[in-house]
Amino acid sequence: MTARTFRHIGTRPIRHDGADKVTGRANYGADLSLPGMLHGVVLRSPHAHARILAIETSRAEAVPGVRAVITGRDIPENFGSIALGEAPFDTHDIGDNALAHEKALYHGHAVAAVAATTIEIARAAASLIDVAYEPLEPVLDITRAIAPDAPILDAGLETKGRPAPGSKSPTNIAARMELRRGDIVAGFAAADVVVEREFRTQMVHQGYIEPHACVARWGQDGQAVLWSTTQGPFLVRDQCAAILGMEPAKIKVTPSEIGGGFGGKIPVYLEPLAIALSRKAGRPVKMVMTREDVFRATGPTSGTIVRMKLGAKRDGTLVAASASLWYEAGAYRGSPSGAGAMCCLAAYNIPNFFVEAYDVLVNKPKVAAYRAPGSPMATFATESLVDEIARTLGLDAVEMRLKNAVAEGDHAPYGPAYPAIGLKEALEAARRHPHYTAPLAPNQGRGMACGFWFNAGLSSSATVMLHGDGSAAVTTGNPDIGGTRVAQALMVAEELGIPVEQVRPSVADTDSVGYTDVTGGSRVCYATGMAVIQAAGDVRDQLRARAARIWNVAPDQVGWEQGRAVALDGAAAQKPLTVAQLAAEMGRTGGPIVGRAAVNVPMAGPGFAVHLCDLEVDKETGRTTVVRYTAIQDVGMAVHPSFVEGQMQGGVAQGIGWALNEEYIFDAGGVMENAGFLDYRMPVASDLPMIDTVLIEVPNPQHPYGVKGVGEVPIVPPLAAVANAMRDATGIRSTTLLFSSPRVLEALAAGD
Amino acid sequence: MARVHLPGGLSAHTGGLECVDVDATRVGELILDLTLRFPGLAEPIRGMAIAIDGEIYNDAPYHALRDDSEIYFVPPVAGG
């Protein structure tokens, strides 16, 4: 790639939406109110597993102020799947998850909903809905789910993919996949050292601060308008249409500002219910989840069991690996076990491996995507074992990894050759970083780990409009979570040569911009950015044509330099025209100037990260404190470095929380016992040190600036980096998360 | 001819062949030819993403192939 000199890309302007956010003026999902609006509430199952025998709603419907009550009968059971961007959605499962039909499959599963003139009336009425349940034994972990006598969640479930030999139906195993290369028997036979362990991680939630919320308004014309906090307004539209049996074009979705998502705001929960209630009541309906609802009834990520074995030669060369990955899907198929299988060995060249991955139903909420879904848990196993081999062989942690690290042209464990990647550059940066050799205090330890994520591509659209004063507006369909609006403004500024402050970036509704896949998969700055760059290029081409008209020359006699139209050789000597000058003449040279572009692009190419973690263990209390952390990552090209660093720091914070603080705690009946932030302990600023970042820029040749995705990789290494630091500090190899104070004390006592 | 790699489970549907050469100019033709020769592959590769010379697309039936293109079928991956 020819190096390009940028004027705007790589700078750090203040985000356009910043002032509204810090002053409280930004409008989030729960902020909208409409005249005549009703308030909707959901009645949720008190059982984790139960057959629904009957639902009687007449007492609720008789309450003054109640305008509509719905149950599963109001949601058609549509069997099929729809391709929605990243992966196919099972239309029956997403509808049944929104409102149960025959069975309640987890504690908190929605079974009915009420709309009334006040929230208090709606709640009181919901309590008067009589549901007759036949309670069933809940299946609360993988071991129980795969036992021969396990209760079956879905009698019609078939194991997709490659069922294990001897598999029987009925089953709770929704899918199984395999990856293999070479001969693992010969590979392990040739190894000088073999390590094998079983790792466990717990179910955790994304913990986005803004709960789910929406307002729906059904119109007399049979069309619905929906306002929602979501990562993907087009996916909300298409999921609601599929669930309700509507045409997608009859639903218009306007995304609000969004207070975090991390994958958890891709599915719909309240939205189809709000539309159905509004249709029945003939008035707008607002629905807002409580934090407790969010924990109990939206998609966390899987609890997992990973059994892994690694073999290496005496010099540290990895020669064989085998792994068996078991991921909880929750109540419906769809855990990220396959992604875990593809990620777990992705950082290393291993000539012989076998990986199998299972997707297992349990009576817990249906899992949703969570930042690099599936990769952190599997990588926890791999990087722990790599650390153990390095220790066993007396090798330096970086040297061990460099010896095996993948580079451009090496084949990923899932098949294709890697494009330009920066894992070795990141490892070299880790070795050079002062953190790597800084002295440790007593009771402190240091760990390192690598991480991998794919970085999605998919479809995006963008429109760039020029205003009469030479400023511009850029409109896309991606809710802005990580600073994508200012990044898009930077791209327009770069292409047109105008100040970034003169570019106004907006997120549009589904009727006002072309189809755009979700804000997820680390794809927005890359894929939607390509649409923005092309749309801005379209504007620039039109400006050149307008200059040609003014100068009365052929368009090919007009060039573009530093934000100005310039006359080329052969044209009359003309003074260059600025964007503002050309914009002022728009009406007389052909009318408004609007640039547009739509793209469907391949995956951006993988991102790799290397993390260093120092922690201190109080051996009397078991309290573990992360005292220093450095995240190094190949980011391709940082369009706005502050937001890239923010993504890296945020991913690290979530990963540390996963390792040290966070877990779903269920009682024997499958009821979550800690459904609130007081008891579900996410890390806060005072829990963490400043997280240092190092940006490595190995450009992505598929992108005009070299951009790769950056948002997901940083959550991958922390689980293992913390575990390896714990091993260094205490001598104890902990293989079961989380490392809470009681567990650390227990491990220390056992170690003694 | 494009070379289709079928490692792991997919070779169970090709009589154990882990590499198959297919004469096709576009992805759609390649998949049609492949599934006519190995009907058992049709279901497992339905909905899979496809890696064409290292670039992974979720769905690309009209994508042109080179004479020496390297093809892998890859499970679709969601992101967060």
Candidates 3.40.50.10540, 2.60.120.10, 3.50.4.10, 3.10.20.30; CATH matching B2-74: 3.10.20.30
Which of A293-302, A542-551, A562-571, A577-586 comes out lowest in average pLDDT? A562-571
pLDDT for residue A2 is more than 60: no
Give yes or no for a contact between A459 and A85, defined as CB atoms under 8 angstroms apart: yes
Nearest CA in chain A to B80: A263
CATH number of the domain encompassing residue A551 = 3.30.365.10
- Same domain, residue pair A234 and A102: yes
pLDDT tens, residue by residue, B19-61? 999 999 999 999 999 999 999 999 889 888 999 999 999 889 9
- Same domain, residue pair A612 and A721: yes
**CB nearest to A179's CB, from B8, B54, B80:** B8
- Same domain, residue pair A238 and A99: yes
Chain B residues lying within 8 Å of A457, measured CB to CB: 56-58
**What span, in angstroms and rounded, lies between the C-alpha atoms of A707 and A494?**
14
**CB nearest to B80's CB, from A369, A602, A702:** A369
Specify the 3-state DSSP secondary structure of B24.
Answer: coil
pLDDT tens, residue by residue, A7-48? 999 999 999 999 999 999 999 999 999 999 999 999 999 999
Asked whether the beta carbons of residue B55 and residue A417 sit closer than 8 angstroms, the reply is no
**What span, in angstroms and rounded, lies between the C-alpha atoms of A664 and A299?**
12
Asked whether the beta carbons of residue B76 and residue A87 sit closer than 8 angstroms, the reply is yes
Half-sphere exposure for B34 (CA within 13 Å, toward CB): 32
Give yes or no for a contact between A207 and A657, defined as CB atoms under 8 angstroms apart: yes
pLDDT for residue A87 is more than 80: no
- Residue B57 tokens read as 């697309």
Specify the 3-state DSSP secondary structure of A308.
Answer: strand
pLDDT tens, residue by residue, A478-502? 999 999 999 999 999 999 999 999 9
Asked whether the beta carbons of residue B57 and residue A457 sit closer than 8 angstroms, the reply is yes
Give yes or no for a contact between A80 and A314, defined as CB atoms under 8 angstroms apart: no
DSSP H or E stretch at residue A615: strand A607-617
Residue A752 is predicted with a pLDDT of: 59
Average pLDDT over residues A702-716: 96
Which phi and psi (to 5°) does residue A364 adopt? Answer: -135, 170
**CB nearest to B80's CB, from A181, A371, A414:** A371
- Which one, of A258, A219, A221, A220, lies nearest residue A236 by Cα? A258
Confidence grade of residue A724 (pLDDT, cut at 50, 70, 90): very high
Chain B residues lying within 8 Å of A372, measured CB to CB: 79-80
Asked whether the beta carbons of residue B57 and residue A371 sit closer than 8 angstroms, the reply is no
Answer whether residue A147 is part of any domain: no
Residue B59 is predicted with a pLDDT of: 85
**What is the distance in angstroms between the Cα of A710 and the nearest Cα belonging to chain B?**
12
Residue B46 is predicted with a pLDDT of: 86
Enumerate chain B positions whose Cβ falls within 8 A of a Cβ in A: 5, 7-9, 12, 44, 47, 51-59, 70, 72-80
**CB nearest to A415's CB, from B5, B9, B55:** B5
**What is the distance in angstroms between the Cα of A262 and the nearest Cα belonging to chain B?**
5
Give yes or no for a contact between A176 and A159, defined as CB atoms under 8 angstroms apart: yes
Answer whether residue A174 is part of any domain: no
In the predicted model, what is the mean pLDDT of chain A? 96
pLDDT for residue A716 is more than 80: yes
Residue A571 is predicted with a pLDDT of: 62
- Same domain, residue pair A400 and A477: no
Chain B residues lying within 8 Å of A522, measured CB to CB: 79
pLDDT tens, residue by residue, A406-415? 999 999 999 9
Nearest CA in chain A to B47: A88
CATH number of the domain encompassing residue A86 = 3.90.1170.50
From residue A123, alpha-carbon distances to A59, A62, A108, A210, A288 in Å are 13, 14, 15, 21, 12
Residue A83 is predicted with a pLDDT of: 73
- Residue A684 tokens read as 């806060």
A511: domain range?
457-601
pLDDT for residue A1 is more than 60: no
Asked whether the beta carbons of residue A86 and residue B47 sit closer than 8 angstroms, the reply is no
Residue B12 is predicted with a pLDDT of: 85
- Same domain, residue pair A258 and A323: no
Residue A86 is predicted with a pLDDT of: 56
**CB nearest to A87's CB, from B8, B56, B78:** B78
Give yes or no for a contact between A312 and A385, defined as CB atoms under 8 angstroms apart: no
**What span, in angstroms and rounded, lies between the C-alpha atoms of A502 and A244?**
42
- Same domain, residue pair A596 and A476: yes
What ipTM, to 2 d.p.? 0.95
Total domains, chain A: 3
- Same domain, residue pair A528 and A451: no
**What span, in angstroms and rounded, lies between the C-alpha atoms of A309 and B59?**
35
Residue A84 is predicted with a pLDDT of: 65
- Same domain, residue pair A461 and A427: no
pLDDT tens, residue by residue, A421-468? 999 999 999 999 999 999 999 999 999 999 999 999 999 999 999 999
Answer whether residue A332 is part of any domain: yes
- Same domain, residue pair A591 and A502: yes
Answer whether residue A424 is part of any domain: yes
**What span, in angstroms and rounded, lies between the C-alpha atoms of A212 and A657?**
22
Which phi and psi (to 5°) does residue A195 adopt? Answer: -120, 145
Calculate what percentage of chain A has a pLDDT beyond 90: 95
CA A381 distance to own-chain centroid: 21
Residues 6 or more apart whose Cβ sits within 8 Å of residue B69: B2, B3, B52, B53
Confidence grade of residue A88 (pLDDT, cut at 50, 70, 90): confident
Q: Which residues of A488-508 are buried (b: 16+ CB within 10 A; e: fewer)?
A: bbbbbbbbbbbebebbbbbbb
DSSP H or E stretch at residue B28: helix B27-37
Domain boundary among A581, A601, A621: A601
- Same domain, residue pair A618 and A708: yes
**CB nearest to A702's CB, from B8, B55, B77:** B55
Give yes or no for a contact between A735 and A197, defined as CB atoms under 8 angstroms apart: yes
Average pLDDT over residues A274-303: 98
Give yes or no for a contact between A689 and A627, defined as CB atoms under 8 angstroms apart: yes
**What is the distance in angstroms between the Cα of B2 and the nearest Cα belonging to chain A?**
14
Answer whether residue A143 is part of any domain: no
pLDDT for residue A572 is more than 70: no
Half-sphere exposure for A523 (CA within 13 Å, toward CB): 34
DSSP H or E stretch at residue A745: helix A741-751
Residue A77 is predicted with a pLDDT of: 86
pLDDT tens, residue by residue, A736-745? 999 999 999 9
Amino acid sitting at position A457: G
**CB nearest to B77's CB, from A179, A339, A370:** A339
- Same domain, residue pair A443 and A463: no
Q: Which residues of A582-616 are buried (b: 16+ CB within 10 A; e: fewer)?
A: bbeebeebeeebebbbbbbbbbbbbbbbbbbbbbb
Residue A3 is predicted with a pLDDT of: 73
- Same domain, residue pair A311 and A256: no
Mutate to test the interface with A, among B58, B59, B62 (most CBs of A within 10 A): B58
Residue B19 is predicted with a pLDDT of: 94
**What span, in angstroms and rounded, lies between the C-alpha atoms of A541 and A645?**
34
pLDDT tens, residue by residue, A367-387? 999 999 999 999 999 999 999
In eight-state DSSP terms, residue A366 is P
**What span, in angstroms and rounded, lies between the C-alpha atoms of A532 and A598?**
9
Residue A85 is predicted with a pLDDT of: 60
In eight-state DSSP terms, residue A430 is H
Which phi and psi (to 5°) does residue A268 adopt? Answer: -105, 145
Residue B77 is predicted with a pLDDT of: 84
Asked whether the beta carbons of residue B47 and residue A262 sit closer than 8 angstroms, the reply is no
- Residue A499 tokens read as 């100040």
Average pLDDT over residues A211-230: 97
pLDDT tens, residue by residue, A304-363? 999 999 999 999 999 999 999 999 999 999 999 999 999 999 999 999 999 999 999 999
| Length of chain B in terms of residues written | 80
Asked whether the beta carbons of residue A417 and residue B54 sit closer than 8 angstroms, the reply is yes
Nearest CA in chain B to A83: B47
> Rounded to a whole number, what is the largest CA-CA distance in chain A?
88
**What span, in angstroms and rounded, lies between the C-alpha atoms of A360 and A123?**
34
Answer whether residue A124 is part of any domain: yes
Residue B9 is predicted with a pLDDT of: 77
**What span, in angstroms and rounded, lies between the C-alpha atoms of A108 and A98?**
11
Answer whether residue A164 is part of any domain: no
Specify the 3-state DSSP secondary structure of A465.
Answer: strand
